[in-house]
Amino acid sequence: MRNHSCWFQSIEDPKYKYDIGEILYRCPNTGSLLEVEHNVKELKKDSPEYWKNLFDSRYRKQSWPYGSGVWGKKEWVVPFVEDKNIVSMYEGGTNLFWADKYGKQIGVEDLWIKMCGNSHTGSFKDLGMTVLVSAVKQIISNGTEIRALACASTGDTSAALSAYCAAAGLKSIVFLPRNKVSVAQLVQPLANGASVISLDTDFDGCMKIVQEVCKKQQIYLANSINSLRIEGQKTISIELCQQFDWAIPDWVIIPGGNLGNISALGKGFLMLKDMGLISKLPRLVCAQSQNANPLYQSYLNNFETFEPVLAKTTLANAIQIGDPVSVNKAIKILKEFDGIVEQASEEELASASARVDLTGTFNCPHTGVAITAFEKLVNNKVIKKTDKVVVISTAHGLKFVDFKINYHLEKLSEISNKFSNHPIEVEASTDKVMQILDSKVL
């Protein structure tokens, strides 16, 4: 048996390392974010071929929990969690949608959309939450008392936290900005029995309060400032390469808000390269809503400064974040990947989302933000027509039906109706129907 181990480490100064069983969100010495580091020397005792074969042999099989896209890579994720403490609902294994029809319209035919929202609670947040909740069960079984898990959320984190806590038999408390999440996003934590605290503030306001609350009362913080979540989310990159038979895309484009996911995406690719499973890195693009674009602003001055912004309302509500917790990790990653930050206006994201749906998806507004970035980079000839491109779709469109229906019924103010499609109301008579079909449909 190999001794696979991992620990927390300061992202500012690697000499500060901490036991992975401790409850830590930031480095007590430097105040910086933490990341989980693995004993790569030990992992490298097995060859790249060994790891590819192991991951492939487990992928989407029914043997619990290793059929999960996350737990199939357990040795690279959180080897310290014993199987009996794993809370898994078959994460990952999501469709890599071949977007050839839409790709042809744009002129980039090797185009893929990774449907991370086709998952248990409908967003990629499941990938990180299965790891975090399982780690908490491990900490509890090691003898530490934890009374509840809590998060601030723009909707999807709270859905994932409450589902995994319900399955684990743990208490969850979610802080939501009042009237700023969709009905689907509000109802998920309610259905899973979470305590839903609705606050008259925005996401950034909720985030401040939950961090204060979690300093007291043995309440465990489940936001992506918690580096355990990033370990689960980094399996997106591993799974992507696996789905391409270990080929590497040229570009991966992802929408970013709190900037945990772009950090995770990069961390996954770096580990694949370090372990010898891939030989080069893709370029990464982080796409922001123009109404909440602090990273884009910072990119414009080569990341020399970073200023939080007051996030304005955006249709892409899960990334309506002005003061992203993981900004330092994200900037570090973007520099390593020759990364680009793009932005999308409300008009651009709504049109892009609708346009791609016309080729068979049902995507969310955040995917529209990423699609916009893709189109802009193709137009600027930064992305070449022959490049292999992956767009990360972060949530299921069914969580955002208000956005979708309002677009198609043309109820979104200041958004054009380029791709809208509304019901045709006709008298219930075959003649009338035939007339309409002749004049409008056929």
**Positions that interact with ligand PLP (CB under 6 A):** 123, 125, 156, 224, 255-261, 318-319, 364, 366, 394-395
Q: Can you tell me the distance from the alpha carbon of 292 to that of 100, in angstroms, rounded to the nearest whole number? A: 31
Nearest to 37 by CA among 73, 9, 75: 9
Of the pair 111, 318, the CB lying nearest ligand PLP is at 318
CB of 47 to ligand PLP, least distance (A): 33
Of 9 and 153, the one with the shorter C-beta distance to ligand PLP is 153
CA nearest 341: which of 290, 381, 296?
Answer: 296
Task: Compute the Cα dihedral for 60, 64, 68, 73 and give only its sign.
Answer: negative
Show the beta-strand stretches assigned E in 70-212: 96-98, 111-115, 148-152, 172-177, 195-199
Measured distance CA(153)–CA(320) in Å, rounded: 11
In this structure, which amino acid lies at residue 223?
A: N
Taking the least distance from each CB to ligand PLP, the nearer of 131 and 395 is 395
Burial of 129: CB neighbours in 10 Å, binned 0-12, 13-18, 19+: buried
Nearer to ligand PLP, 355 or 366 (CB): 366
DSSP 8-state secondary structure symbol assigned to residue 197: E
Q: Which helix (H) or strand (E) holds 9?
A: strand 6-10
Toward ligand PLP, which CB reaches closer, 241 or 364?
A: 364
Residue with tokens 């693009």: 285
State in angstroms the smallest separation of the CB of 375 from ligand PLP.
18
Angle at 371 between CA 367 and CA 372, to 5 degrees: 120
If the CB atoms of residues 132 and 139 are measured against ligand PLP, the closer one turns out to be 132
Smallest distance from ligand PLP to CB 270, Å: 17
| Cα distance between residue 284 and residue 234, in whole Å | 14
CB of 438 to ligand PLP, least distance (A): 42
The CB-of-364 to ligand PLP minimum distance in angstroms stands at 6
Sequence-separated (6 or more) residues with CB below 8 Å from residue 81: 74, 131, 134, 135, 137, 138
Please state the closest distance from residue 298 (CB atom) to ligand PLP, in A: 14
CB of 395 to ligand PLP, least distance (A): 3
User: Residue 177: what residue type?
Assistant: P
For residue 247, the tally of other CB atoms under 10 A from its CB is 11
At its nearest, how many Å lie between ligand PLP and the CB of residue 258?
3
Q: Which residue number, 165 or 319, has a Cβ lying nearer to ligand PLP?
A: 319
Least distance in angstroms from the C-beta of 123 to ligand PLP: 4
Q: Which is nearer to ligand PLP, 149 or 275 (CB)?
A: 149
**Length reported for the chain:** 442
Closer residue to ligand PLP in complex, CB, 79/260? 260
Give just the sign of the alpha carbon dihedral 396, 400, 401, 405: negative
Task: Give whichever of 67 and 294 is closer to ligand PLP, judged by the CB atom.
Answer: 294
Radius of gyration, CA atoms only, the chain: 22
Backbone angles phi, psi at 83, to 5 degrees: -55, -35
CB of 203 to ligand PLP, least distance (A): 9
